[in-house]
Amino acid sequence: MSIQSHQRLRLVFDAAVIGAISCTMLAAAPALAQTRRVELHVSDPLNSVQETVKITFTDTAKPDGDPHKSRTIDVQIPGNSDAERKEELISQQLTQHGVSNVRDIGGHGVILTSVNKHVRVSFDNGGTMEHDVVHASQPQMGRIGFVGFFDPIGGDQLPAVFTAGVVTDLGECSVQVTADELLFQTDGPTICQELLLRLAPQAQQLGAQVVCVGDSLEVFFDPQLTLARGGVAWGTTSPSEGCGGQLLLGFPELRLEIDQLIAGQVTTFGAFGAEPGERVFFTYAFDTGWTYIPQLDVTLDLLNPKLLGSAIADPLGSAQLPLLVPPVAQGLELHFQALVLDGTSQVRTERVR
């Protein structure tokens, strides 16, 4: 199948993998992959004036400098909000910014069901003064950060409380330290060192290892004990910014390479890092954006993607797709991405010569 300039293509993915789909609408069919979801639980914030919570999605498969590597969504939290209101605002903003399949699960929780496995999801509490939890199935690692110096007096006018915790299939644990216990030395590294001493023994019993790296705690999970969930808890009652948590869902695997695109000539699309025997799909679009493909449980970084074709990965995990570049495509700037079951490559942007 060749690229056709500004013409709607109809895609038929291999029926043995996901069934027939119309690419323009990406119509839903029963997913074969287990839905990967990220679950966030929030508590009552203490801020009396409006504060900003930041949620950042970083695609670790993309190189540094790629404009599509990270995306941050700001959520304004009015003063004197409760956990339910905050959860509603987060859900609304995620949905408005194109995050697919966001839903409220009650209990002040939000589920994001369409996050690629090589994405790092970060939550920055701003000055909302609360305690949150994030977990997902089979994460690679988590991080709890206390960056900078924190006001030792909390929003409740008591010594500020700092919290860190771990979640695995075996259960949850969390610990706290107060500013007076720290002798009001509330810089990030001091907070993290004390939290480490309290958290590490409990976390180890749940199959997680915690280490202190400056102003953050890094949590490494036993993959056999996070089949359903693995995550971190964090928070503070201090009004200072700098407290947050993040979860790395996986490491980058699939890489897309493209020969020169010359109108009227054959070029080769290559994907590397797939599983041997796995079918790799190659897609393109005229614009970048977010499109969830439920049949493969992935989110493409393309808007209205179209299928170029597919190929089976060889024993070394590479798949090659030769295609003719039509003369009418000359001068077009196109965005390309490869995808497999539960995984995508980086986006390649190329101009047809």
- Work out the pLDDT band at 32, boundaries 50, 70, 90: very low
DSSP 149: B
pLDDT per residue as tens digits for the range 204-243: 999 999 999 999 999 999 888 998 899 999 999 999 999 9
- Work out the pLDDT band at 326, boundaries 50, 70, 90: very high
* More confident position, 23 or 61: 61
Residue type, 84: E
Tally of CA atoms within 13 A in the half-sphere of 162 that contains its CB: 39
pLDDT per residue as tens digits for the range 167-193: 999 999 999 999 999 999 999 999 999
CA 40 to chain centre: 12
Radius of gyration (C-alpha) of the chain in whole angstroms: 23
Is residue 82 over pLDDT 50? yes
Closest-CA residue to 121 (of 288, 14, 264, 247): 247
Task: Give, in words, the CATH class of 255-351.
Answer: mainly beta
Query: Other CB atoms closer than 10 Å to residue 263's CB: what's the count?
Result: 17
Share the mean pLDDT of the chain: 85
Beta strands 51-59 and 171-178: pairing type?
unpaired
Tokens at residue 168, please? 């695995």
- Find tokens 């404009």 and name the residue: 67
Residues in the chain: 353
SS3 assignment for 11-45: CCCCCCCCCCCCCCCCCCCCCCCCCCCEEEECCCC
Average pLDDT over residues 64-71: 81
CATH 2.60.40.730 range(s) for the chain read 255-351
